[in-house]
Amino acid sequence: MTLKFLGIKLKNPMVLASGVLGNSKDILERVHENGCGLVTMKSIGPEPRDGHNNPTVIDLGCGLINAVGLPSPGYLNMENEWKDLKNRDFPIIASIYGGSVKEYKMVAEFVSLKKPDFIEINISCPNSEKHGMIFGVNPQSSHDVVAAVKKVINVPLIVKLTPQALNIGDIAKACEDAGADAICAINTLGPGMVIDIEARMPVLSFKKGGLSGPMIKPVAIRCVFDIYKAVDIPIIGLGGITTGEDAIEMIMAGASLVGIGSAVRYRGIDVFQTVSDEMEAWFLDHHCSLDDIKGAAHEGNQS
Amino acid sequence: MNTITDQNHIMLRVGKKQIESQNFATLFFNHALPFKPGQFIMVWIPGMDEKPYTISYHSKENFAITIEAKGLFSTKAISLETGDLIGIRGPFGNGFNIKPDDKVAVVAGGCGMAPLATLMEQLSKSTTFIHGARSKEYILYPERFDIERLFCTDDGSFGYKGFVTDLLEKEITSGKHFDSVYTCGPEIMMYTVFCICEKYDIPCQVSLERYMRCGFGVCGACVCGKQVVCKDGPVFESSTLRAMKDFNAKALLKSGKDVDLSQYFSWRCK
């Protein structure tokens, strides 16, 4: 299932979601070896940041809730990792975040010089007090940050969106107009909260956290469907994708590539190969290819 | 009674508290927990933090964790009393690969004795059991187990004066044959055990420690080389250790920054 995405050759349409197993070249390489066409580094921020105390990630059975809190060594403190990644033989997305347009630009400009294959800006993380969310829920501020970042980088730009936007299609359109090369959707849903009734307090130390995994898949499918209608740039669709059939559904909503995160919990690190194989089997059975079904759910659809 | 699972916590009250020495205490919980030696649980003190702990005592009806007062969390944990409420989820990780017919040596260092304790209870009386610590007060469970034990301390205050690794090599060179070696303790000690085992061609299993968040192999906080310590480990066999370039070399801080082990451990003990 080799394909090209924004000019880069990928061995299949599977993408490792940001924030999952993205901490070092070694582990990114292992994910790639386990059937993932495109891997995303853990989000890189403007300053060193520890993230929140535990509990930060809890499995609720139907998916995860997390408030890890954007831990990052800070963009200036990752020279070992960049050195390791220089000798990679697989494509990567460098995910970045900031608290202001200035911070996004500063981090993006620096990271671009490290030559990742793509830069993804996270304008949608719900797990910190100020980082990102304000941009992702407003078309104008989304436009501003994308336009600013686009000017200072020379690799394709992916924008990661939040399902919390009132109209995610409008946000995606604003990003496209500002020069975004692709959209990645969705980030975790929520925030939500889980209270332990014996302890009488929220389980997560940050109290609120983003939801992921199977429970959010219908929201992710709807968001990608809306984005596909609004823009012409390609979409990385993710949110609860766990099986080949989930991935097919996401592609029919309009995704070009399919991301996986929480499913690593449910099916192991080789879930990428497994889902890719399941997709191939489905295509074989239905005598069609990925391109044949992309956006298929929109055909003959008036609304 | 609620079942302890690897999903959301269940809250348990501390049963008996047992003081092990001035540095260690054991908290017992009157609750069943399916468990294999070498696995761990996540222990949540509401309003404080959540950390991985090994099971140090285990029976059909109860289990215990042993705590060494080191940092903020463990100091709080060791001060808990009977009736106090904590959250538990787990067990997580792979556990030791126990081969009942093997001739075995177990090498324990400092608080690394705790994860090995339930393993000792499954091994034969002929097991060679080497146990060391920096000084007498840090020897955990000195009276426990039916198995003869070779003690040593760095300062000579209890048993042989010197390192567990000296004793292990002495046992091997004196003609003892081992089919496998299990070890837990400071990483530099485990690395030396691994090197001795490589020298004499003995398969070994070591139990690693890294900063953890999720416990189930998703967040990536605890990666060590290509391995995810909470999910693929925490017990790793020689074949994996040979390829693990971060073993005894590097670990990630809470921010994800990779640092030398010395810097990592000085942070972990804060």
Q: Would you name the residues of A annotated as active-site residues? A: 125
Whole-number pLDDT of residue A303: 47
What residues of chain B score a pLDDT lower than 50?
none
Residue-range domain boundaries for chain B: 3-92, 104-268
**For B33-84, how does the pLDDT look when each residue is reduced to its tens digit (9 = 90+)?**
999 999 999 999 999 999 999 999 999 999 999 999 988 999 999 999 999 9
Which pTM value belongs to this model? 0.95
Whole-number pLDDT of residue B221: 97
Burial class (CB in 10 A: 0-12, 13-18, 19+), B203: middle
Phi/psi at B90 (nearest 5 deg)? 145, -160
CA-CA distance, B216 to A93, in Å (whole number)? 24
- Given a contact cutoff of 8 angstroms between Cβ atoms, the answer to whether B115 and B184 are in contact is yes
A–B interface: beta-carbon pairs under 8 A: 127
Contact B216 A198 (CB under 8 A): no
Whole-number pLDDT of residue A131: 61
Contact B44 A203 (CB under 8 A): yes
Q: How far is A204 from chain B (nearest CA, A)?
A: 9
**For A92-131, how does the pLDDT look when each residue is reduced to its tens digit (9 = 90+)?**
999 999 988 999 999 999 999 999 999 999 998 655 555 6
A201 part of contact set with chain B, CB < 8 Å: yes
B46 part of contact set with chain A, CB < 8 Å: yes
Q: How far is A88 from chain B (nearest CA, A)?
A: 14
Going A3 to A9 to A10 to A16, the CA torsion angle's sign is negative
Helix (H, G, I), strand (E, B) or coil at A101: helix
Q: How many CB atoms lie within 10 A of CB A82?
A: 16
Fold of B104-268: Rossmann fold (3.40.50)
B47 part of contact set with chain A, CB < 8 Å: yes
What residues of chain A score a pLDDT lower than 50?
303
Contact B255 A50 (CB under 8 A): yes
A84 part of contact set with chain B, CB < 8 Å: no
Whole-number pLDDT of residue A31: 98
Preferred mutation among A42, A57, A85 to probe B, highest tally of B CBs within 10 A = A57
Interface of A with B in 29-58 (CB under 8 A): 29-30, 42, 48-51, 53-58
Name the average pLDDT for chain A. 95
Question: Of B85, B214, B223, which is closest to A23 when you measure between CB atoms?
Answer: B223
Which of A3, A22, A20 lies closest to A12, judged by CA? A3
Q: How far is B162 from chain A (nearest CA, A)?
A: 36
Whole-number pLDDT of residue A110: 98
Q: Into which CATH architecture does domain B3-92 fall?
A: Beta Barrel (2.40)
Interface of A with B in 205-244 (CB under 8 A): 205
Residue in chain B closest to A31 (alpha carbons) equals B226
Whole-number pLDDT of residue B183: 98
Helix (H, G, I), strand (E, B) or coil at A119: strand
Helix (H, G, I), strand (E, B) or coil at A88: coil
ipTM of the complex: 0.94
User: How big is chain A, counted in residues?
Assistant: 303
Which residues, in sequence order, are CB contacts of B2 under 8 Å at separation 6+?
A: B10
A73 part of contact set with chain B, CB < 8 Å: yes
Whole-number pLDDT of residue A150: 97
Helix (H, G, I), strand (E, B) or coil at A229: helix
